[in-house]
Amino acid sequence: MEHSYIPYFFISLVILIILIVYRKMYSNLSKEKNLQKNYCQLYSLENKIATGEIEFFFKCPDKITLHFEILDNKFKVIETLVSKEFNSGSHILRYDSIKLSDGVYYYQLRTENQKTYKKMEIKNHV
């Protein structure tokens, strides 16, 4: 009679281990999502080859001071488009790329705790 409880014990133990592992995984995912919420999101240009006026789109979770810069292909700052405080929400910056030579450039969003950059190709002169 005593042996009939052994399978139930092991089944209960396996279920408990599964619940502990699941809770640990869910906790880690939740922490990653919270970290991402504290950073601005910089979106890629829809058209990979940019000409003329370019619109840069980004979102900020909170009020934050940020710097938005254009970099050359060696990551040297060519121009700072803006360096100011932005409210939370979505923002668009416009930049006239006509003064840039054709080639590869980067645009960068920089805050106290973040540095995000993305690649763009300029073709203004055919």
CATH number for the domain that contains residue 100? 2.60.40.1930
Write down the pLDDT at residue 34: 46
Average pLDDT of the chain to the nearest whole number: 83
Compare 91 and 50 and report the one with higher pLDDT: 91
pTM here is 0.67
> Average pLDDT, stretch 93-99?
91
30 & 60 share domain: no
Q: What percent of the chain has pLDDT over 90?
A: 47
80 & 97 share domain: yes
79 sits in the region (left: phi over 0; alpha: psi -120 to 50; else beta) called: beta
65 & 93 share domain: yes
Cα separation of 76 and 82, whole Å? 16
Q: Using CB atoms within 10 Å of the CB of residue 66, give its burial: 0 to 12 exposed, 13 to 18 middle, 19+ buried.
A: buried
30 & 62 share domain: no
> Average pLDDT, stretch 19-24?
76
Q: Looking at the 3D structure of the chain, how many domains does it have?
A: 2
47 & 18 share domain: no
Instruction: Tell me how many helices (H) and strands (E) the chain has.
Output: 1, 8
Convert the pLDDT of each residue in 30-65 to its tens digit: 544 444 557 888 888 766 788 888 889 999 998 999
78 & 51 share domain: yes
Tokens of 96: 């006239």
Question: Domain span at residue 47?
Answer: 41-122
Q: Which of 23-27, 73-77, 92-96 has the lowest mean pLDDT?
A: 23-27
19 & 59 share domain: no
47 & 70 share domain: yes
